[in-house]
Structure 1
Amino acid sequence: MDAEHTAATDGSSKPATGYRLLLPSQWAQVPLRQGTEEAVGSILKDLFSRIPEHLPPDKIGPYKKVISARFRSSVTQAQQKNGLDLYVPVKPVGDQEFNLGASILVAETTLPEREPGATFADPTDLVVQLLSRERVNADLSSGEVDGAVAVRREFVAEADPTHGVDVASRRIEYIASVPGDPARWFVAAFSTVGGGNPRDELAEVLVEWFDAVMATFRWRFE
């Protein structure tokens, strides 16, 4: 799947206007600014069409309600995080069933203004400092995303039942400066619960997979 998103552009500075990201066909895109309900409805319809017909209605009904509520809640949370797109695995791979145990959220953010007298060698230094203050146990590294300065952050988010998070999850975030618009930053955040342990073998494989996916990332200029 060639996923694309187009953002607003300033003709004078000609910043990047969007992005392209290659994902397997098992993953579906949910745009979070426009066309959200249509995408959610299509995904749920496709999912429910694969429910075995021999199952009794009193089992199917509650299952649909739980999955629909869980999925819609995830979409709403993504929108509240200034998300652009949410990607979720919606088709089975081998004997696996549909679940929301992994996701990719693409969002954008702006950096706070520098304090008077503050100096940084490049924008990446500011991001590293901000992220270091926010989460002590995160692994941070700097690099590039399609030629743009970027920071990669990896950490385990503990379960937080008070906010509806029942299990811990492994998080990988790529935070990249948008070309042509240094105040804007692109964020691609991957989350997985692995096989039940955010540091188990499945989680490790999925982290490597997401890093490979980000290698396909390209800015769009129009």
Structure 2
Amino acid sequence: MSDSILRVVDNSIGQLPDDLPKDDVSKLRMELFRRLKKAARKAAKANGLLLYLPVQRVRSTLAPASFVISQVSGEGIGIQSNEVLGALAADRGNSEPVDVDGSQGTRIERVVPPAEDAEGSFSSRRIEYVLPLPDSPLPRWLTVTFSTVGDGDPDSDFTSALVDLFDAVMTTFRWSYA
């Protein structure tokens, strides 16, 4: 994990202006490494299988967003997929049924306030797709959770455009078994 984070940090630091003081570059490098490592640990703690962070700038703008893919197992708890989806929909915010490559799931959208210990943080807009794994002998779900602070306003056009882009990505999702 640390090697991947170091590659991302080195690539990002390489995009900084050459006239930036070396002390500032060192501080930025350490802060970026710390934040990325924290994001990776948080994703792993949430049973994250994959963490996607945009690291390339588009027209000099870096998208302040991420998404995590996790697998949740209901093994041994004796509940059905539709019960889980119904409970999530009732508990987590605005929800709607979705069909993702033939899997009937739930899309949940909410605004999450900044963490109390996070200085200078913004509320984030969070979109979560919860999908039962098709043909699984045990109750298992895949969650794909997108989060963005956008431009600092969870209801702005820019933030909504990032959410729309993520929803478009989810329309391309396909189940594949190796």
Q: With structure 2 as the length reference, what TM-score do the two structures score? A: 0.90
- Residue type at the aligned position of 1:211: D
Aligned to 1:145: 100
Aligned to 2:176: 220
Aligned to 2:132: 177
Aligned to 1:63: 28
- C-alpha contact 1:159 1:167 (8 A) present in aligned 2: yes
Q: Percent identity?
A: 29
Answering whether residue 141 of structure 2 is matched by residue 156 of structure 1, we say: no
Aligned to 1:79: 44
CA RMSD of aligned residues (A): 2.0
Q: With structure 1 as the length reference, what TM-score do the two structures score? A: 0.73
Answering whether residue 87 of structure 2 is matched by residue 129 of structure 1, we say: yes
SS of aligned partner of 1:218: coil
Answering whether residue 49 of structure 2 is matched by residue 49 of structure 1, we say: no
**Using a 3 Å threshold, how does the CA distance of structure 1 residues 124 and 92 change in structure 2: closer, same or farther?**
same
Which consecutive residues of structure 1, in runs of 5 or more, have no partner in the other structure?
A: 1-35, 116-121
- Residue type at the aligned position of 1:109: V
Query: Relative to total residues, which structure has the larger helix share, 1 or 2?
Result: 2
Give the count of matched residue pairs: 176
Answering whether residue 157 of structure 2 is matched by residue 201 of structure 1, we say: yes
SS of aligned partner of 1:127: helix
Cα distance, 1:130 vs. partner?
3.7
- C-alpha contact 1:156 1:171 (8 A) present in aligned 2: yes
- C-alpha contact 2:133 2:142 (8 A) present in aligned 1: yes
Q: Deviations over 1:106-144 (max 9, x none)?
A: 1111237247xxxxxx723431224413x3xx1111122
In 2, Cα distance between equivalents of 1:170 and 1:111: 27
- Residue type at the aligned position of 1:188: V
Q: Considering Cα pairs closer than 8 Å and 6+ residues apart, tell me whether 1 or 2 has the greater RCO.
A: 1
Which consecutive residues of structure 2, in runs of 5 or more, have no partner in the other structure?
A: none
